[in-house]
Amino acid sequence: MLIRRQGAGLLVRTPAKVNLFLETLARRQDGYHELATLMVAVSLYDSLEFRDDPSGAIGLSCDSPSLPTGADNLVVKAAELLKRQTGHRTGAAIVLRKRIPAAAGLAGGSSDAAATLVGLNRLWRCGLNGAELGELAGRLGSDVAFFLATPAAWCTGRGEIVEPLRLGRPLDVVLACPAIGLSTAEVFRNLIVPSAPQDGVALRRSAEAGEVEEIGRHLFNRLQPVAERLCPAVAGLCGRLAGQGPAGCLMSGSGSTVFALCRCRGEARRVARELAAVREGPGSTRVYIVRSCS
């Protein structure tokens, strides 16, 4: 997360994430699932501008007309939660510029919510510390707390228990985002929790050692087979990426984005170029070359 002053306000750039590992351990009584996941922030950013509003109102505008900006938006929920928690009197005018695709498994909404907590905590001089912000983040959504602990972390619970992890080297990644999104709730509804879950130990060790080939061999996402049944384009994209010979391919989160883990920036450029060369017509796949955040 990158923060800078902009006139009387603040500008925050906040990243997307990919999951190198995602396992479901159990279904919880609250309807969520117990998870174990290794998440990595990558260099695809939304930006949010925050300015004080003396009226006390929380207002959100967005350059993506398809994104609702009312009370159900996570950015608005985050701002209102922070305001209630701290008793702050003024409001905020928030401008969101979207680059992270929605419903794509990249947690753009969660990242925007985390940026709102951090940005307004600073703009309003609330003085909340990291633990206090983390508690609020956990109330907002499963992935929100991760973005307070980037660039990489092992996350458990429903995703809100965050253990920062140091990557052994930067990772070069190609994101392939099909035009069709996937509903996280629908993917989880169709999931069968495994009786013998994967533990992710080998993947964690490889990530900490920076062994790209080993990371590629141990990539895992329990949700991917479900997503492929719901959206065959996910399987097709993963096959096309694998055909380019990267270190590994996987779907991120609950989809629909799939990514190729590459050995270097040059390989990432080649994979992206060859993927983009296939013409799909209107609503074609968006391709991004990114690197793990430092």
Q: Which residue stretches of 20-103 are H helix?
A: 74-86
The CA-based angle 184-236-245, given to 5 degrees, is 110
The two three-digit tokens of residue 182, written as one number = 């996937």
Scan for tokens 């492929």, then name that residue. 228
Closest CA to 53 of 92, 79, 15: 92
For this structure, is 143 an active site residue?
A: yes
What is d(CA 46, CA 96) in angstroms, rounded to the nearest whole number?
Answer: 7
Angle formed by the axes of helices 130-140 and 108-123, nearest 10°: 140
Cβ–Cβ under 8 Å, residues 145 and 134: yes
Please identify which of the residues 77, 98, 112, 143 carries the catalytic annotation. 143
Catalytic residue among 17, 77, 83, 98: 17
What's the Cα-to-Cα distance from 203 to each of 76, 241, 268, rounded to whole Å?
36, 20, 21
- Per-residue HEC secondary structure of 219-279 comes to CEECCHHHHHHHCHHHHHHHHHHHCCCCCEEEECCCCCCEEEEECCHHHHHHHHHHHHCCC
CA end-to-end distance (rounded Å), the chain: 10
**Amino acid at site 71:** A
Nearest 10 degrees: Cα torsion 16, 20, 26, 29:
-10
Q: CB-hemisphere CA count at 13 Å for 172?
A: 15
Active-site residue set: 17, 143
